[in-house]
């Protein structure tokens, strides 16, 4: 069984569409599946909207992406996990490709991503980052698939990290077997680039360059992931 796990904080604007899309993608795979939304500290009705769209909803109050994903993994019923962000829209073909890699022996993997709509520099940065990650055998966190046994063997997502936890997980999984980054692309929202000024992105980059991984051990300064939703 495939458990599609969606961490979500204040995603009322689009969680219904995301869940509906995941229901279609799951149904198009011909395998048993569930859509599980982890409603992390939302105050805008995200959980109720997700449930109305057909998801099973688990509530938590951790306000951390890594921890919310781990909550979802513990609550999941499946032996295969697919982690999808609350603003990401994989189709059935992409989910089938992930399942095929797992059936062929991969422990996990991900996909390259593209924005639906973003400033020109956002598309450029996404293209460069996804190519660099794929070259390194890594991927972003908006679409990440993994066998449950491998996920549990490496301890799940590192809850010391408030961002880039998917990179740490991918590195850990690669010690246990093949981690396959699909050539197919998944569509994710470019809203963070649309909503935040360019100066904010530059400040984040400078913070990461100065602090390294230590800058990821606190929510402070990581508004790109934890800032108030504008859309």
The CATH number assigned to the domain holding 85 equals 3.90.550.10
Structural domain total, the chain: 1
pLDDT score, position 77: 98
Q: Which residues contact 229 (CB under 8 A, 6 or more apart)?
A: 10, 11, 13, 195
Residue 225 lies in a domain: no
- Identify the residue whose tokens are 């306000």: 63
Residue 231 lies in a domain: no
Residue 216 lies in a domain: no
pLDDT score, position 131: 85
Round to whole Å and give the CA distance between 175 and 19.
Answer: 32
Instruction: Mark the ranges of the chain whose per-residue pLDDT is less than 50.
Output: none
pLDDT score, position 230: 58
Round to whole Å and give the CA distance between 38 and 194.
Answer: 25
Residue 140 lies in a domain: yes
Residue 195 lies in a domain: no
pLDDT score, position 176: 96
The residue segments making up the domain with residue 50 are: 2-190
Residue 109, phi then psi, degrees to nearest 5: 170, -170
3-state secondary structure of 92: helix
Residue 132 lies in a domain: yes
Round to whole Å and give the CA distance between 166 and 23.
Answer: 24
Residue 121 lies in a domain: yes
Q: Which residues contact 71 (CB under 8 A, 6 or more apart)?
A: 38, 40, 58, 60, 62
Residue 137 lies in a domain: yes
Adjacency order of strands within the sheet including 179-188: 56-60, 33-40, 2-8, 80-84, 143-147, 108-115, 179-188, 88-89
Residue 62, phi then psi, degrees to nearest 5: -105, -30
Among left, alpha and beta (phi > 0; psi -120 to 50; other), residue 201 is alpha
């Amino acid at each position: 069984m495939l458990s599609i796990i969606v961490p979500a904080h204040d995603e009322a604007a689009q969680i219904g569409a995301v869940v509906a899309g995941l229901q279609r993608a799951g149904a198009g795979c011909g395998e048993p599946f569930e859509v599980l939304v982890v409603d992390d500290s939302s105050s805008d009705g995200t959980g109720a909207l997700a449930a109305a769209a057909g998801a099973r909803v688990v509530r938590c109050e951790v306000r951390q992406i890594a921890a919310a994903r781990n909550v979802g993994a513990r609550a999941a019923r499946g032996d295969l996990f697919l982690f999808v962000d609350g603003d990401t829209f994989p189709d059935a073909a992409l989910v089938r490709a992930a399942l095929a890699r797992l059936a062929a022996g991969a422990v996990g993997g991900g996909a390259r991503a593209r924005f639906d709509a973003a400033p020109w520099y956002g598309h450029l940065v996404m293209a460069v980052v996804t190519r660099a990650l794929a070259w390194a055998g890594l991927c972003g966190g908006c679409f990440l698939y993994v066998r449950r046994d491998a996920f549990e063997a490496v301890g799940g997502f590192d809850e010391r990290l408030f961002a880039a936890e998917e990179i740490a997980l991918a590195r850990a999984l690669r010690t246990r077997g093949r981690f396959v980054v699909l050539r197919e692309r998944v569509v994710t929202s470019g809203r963070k680039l649309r909503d935040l000024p360019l100066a904010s992105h530059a400040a984040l980059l400078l913070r990461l360059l100065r602090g390294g991984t230590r800058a990821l051990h606190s929510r402070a300064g990581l508004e790109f992931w934890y800032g108030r939703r504008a859309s």
